Structure 1
Amino acid sequence: MEVTQILHMNKGEGETSYAKNSTLQRKTLSMVKPIIVEAVLELMISSNIMGIESMGIADLGCSSGPNTLLLISQVMDVIRGADQPSTITELRVYLNDLFSNDFNTIFMSLPEFFNKLKQGYHDNHQHLMNPFISAVPGSFYGPLFPRKSLHFVHSCFSLHWLSQVPAGLNNKGKICISNSSPQCVIDAYSMQFQKDFELFLRSRAQEIVDGGRMVLSFMGRPSSDPTAAQGPFYQWELLAHALMAMVLEGCIQKEKVDSFNVPYYASCAEELNLVLQKEGSFITDHLKTFEIDWDSSVSDRLDQDIPNGAFVFDDDQMITRSGQRVANSIRVVAESMLKSHFGKEIMDDLFQRYAELISKHFSDNTTRPKYTILVISLIKKNLISTN
């Protein structure tokens, strides 16, 4: 599978589009906002940055839809709300994702975005800070920007995607790590993640100015054991069950399932620290862990009703709707790869089966399944040239 050419979030604004099924990502952005605010405020008073007029910002893995432009608004709000007046008059904003990302939808939303910005500044009698927004397609596992052109880099829900499926996997009947995966499969995924993350850091180290900041949030796991029962890869195990059910009914060939693996890895804090120390260009300011429900759209109401986190639904219809929402949230990020390998004809059937398996999983458990989100705030080291 050529990940850089195939992987993209579902385009447009239909019922199975990323735009309509990205509440999980939006809630994560909301949870991470205080860390972004702190990073930008600290950046503004850094001796390396103080006095600049043009600030370079990159959002890596920006996708499309209503979440895409949130970061720009957050950064602009921080700058104009800072206690000390800022010299920054313009933002150079680079939106990055893979080549097949739906950049057209982003650009179509810009006129409304700019109008809201102008109105907000007019209402508050403030001078308009100009954001110059451009797209930079390509893989962030490699160089994307000129040297020392960026002051702040952000990435949300992207770094758990690997640059490729690990080579030589013998993972028959599964599509990712599971609690029965052999050690060689786990090692292959872990090594691919470490290789990719080191390359990501090395590339950004060339592009970010000394003292610049980076805030990254992505799927992770709470412990060093990736095979924990119903752990960080369990959503993929359920999808594998749906595929294997279709094999038993003769809908698809078993060989097709055996040869398909997802380029996805949920890391742990220990792995992150290992790679950060090895690469050596960044100082860790914060490393935090959050939990968020598989179905984030109902988590707020359930938390209010049941403070101890018990997983209770009102009725079977609620379970079914919740299972469908979670299935859609996986469909919008994985369908491009599945279509390429299995064909588009089976997609509706596959994800209906998947939704039913998720609903059954909800029904059979008394605690709500949660994703673990790792958030890391980094500072680019001041590197003194020896030349």
Structure 2
Amino acid sequence: MVLNFIGRSIHDPSSKDCCYIWELLTKPLLELVNEGLVEATKVDSLNVPIYTPCEEEVREIVENEGSFNLDKMEIVEVNWDPSDDPNKERVVFNKYESGKNVSNGVRAVSEPMLATHFGESIIDILFTRYAHHVAHHLVVEKTKFINIAVSMTKIN
């Protein structure tokens, strides 16, 4: 079995590795609260059920469960912006393009949950503003996802 998932590089489960992309999403949500487009109680009650393990946790879980041999585990850092290829030279960095690329990825994953929780009417403006916040963040810090790839074989 091969698994590939988002993780984090350090033990701290509140590290920027896994959480900051979601923290940035709170900024446009709070703006919408201030404008009366979203109820504060809705933001307070939002629960995003995501946990990103570190390498040591994955190794410990597989070993303690006992059904699989852990053949290989690889940690890969990937830019938030999938078009920001470190092997390609960019002529000009467009922070708004990068912000929109990241926003579109997060939207693909979270839109159904957010639309159910807040309603469809705010989704476009939420992600337009989110793209803006991400763009400003990427100018200050080139942030990466931590991908964990695991290869395991079942013990007979």
TM-score range, shorter chain: over 0.9
Q: How does 1:1-387 map to 2 (within 5 A)?
A: 214-228=1-15, 230-300=16-86, 303-305=87-89, 314-315=92-93, 318-365=94-141, 368-382=142-156
Instruction: Give the aligned residue type for 1:224.
Output: H
Deviation at 1:313, TM superposition (A): 7.4
Q: How far apart, in 2, do the equivalents of 1:313 and 1:251 lie? A: 39
Greater relative contact order: 1 or 2 (C-alpha under 8 angstroms, separation 6 or more)?
A: 2
Contact 2:17 2:146 in 1 (8 A): no
Larger Rg: 1
Query: Matched residues, percent identical?
Result: 39
Q: How far apart, in 1, do the equivalents of 2:24 and 2:91 lie? A: 21
Instruction: Give the aligned residue type for 2:9.
Output: P
Contact 1:319 1:363 in 2 (8 A): yes
How large is the RMSD of aligned CA atoms in angstroms? 1.5
Q: How far apart, in 2, do the equivalents of 1:273 and 1:339 lie? A: 36
Per the alignment, in what secondary structure is the counterpart of residue 5 of structure 2? Answer: strand
What's the TM-score, normalizing by structure 1? 0.39
Contact 1:322 1:359 in 2 (8 A): yes
> Could you report, residue by residue, the CA deviation over 1:248-277 in whole angstroms, capped at 9, with x for unpaired residues?
221111100011111111111121122112
> Could you report, residue by residue, the CA deviation over 1:45-73 in whole angstroms, capped at 9, with x for unpaired residues?
xxxxxxxxxxxxxxxxxxxxxxxxxxxxx
What's the TM-score, normalizing by structure 2? 0.94
Per the alignment, in what secondary structure is the counterpart of residue 231 of structure 1? Answer: helix
Q: How far apart, in 2, do the equivalents of 1:325 and 1:370 lie? A: 14
Instruction: Give the aligned residue type for 2:151.
Output: S
Per the alignment, in what secondary structure is the counterpart of residue 17 of structure 2? Answer: coil
CA gap of 1:226–1:268, structure 2 versus 1, over 3 A, is same
Contact 2:9 2:17 in 1 (8 A): no
Unaligned residue ranges in structure 2 (runs of 5+): none
- Moved runs in structure 1, 4+ residues, more than 4 A? none
Contact 1:289 1:374 in 2 (8 A): yes
Give the count of matched residue pairs: 156
Instruction: Give the aligned residue type for 1:343.
Output: G
Q: How far apart, in 1, do the equivalents of 2:49 and 2:91 lie? A: 33
Deviation at 1:223, TM superposition (A): 0.9
Instruction: Give the aligned residue type for 1:370.
Output: K
Q: How far apart, in 2, do the equivalents of 1:313 and 1:328 lie? A: 23
Contact 1:247 1:253 in 2 (8 A): yes
Unaligned residue ranges in structure 1 (runs of 5+): 1-213, 306-311, 383-387
Contact 1:313 1:319 in 2 (8 A): no
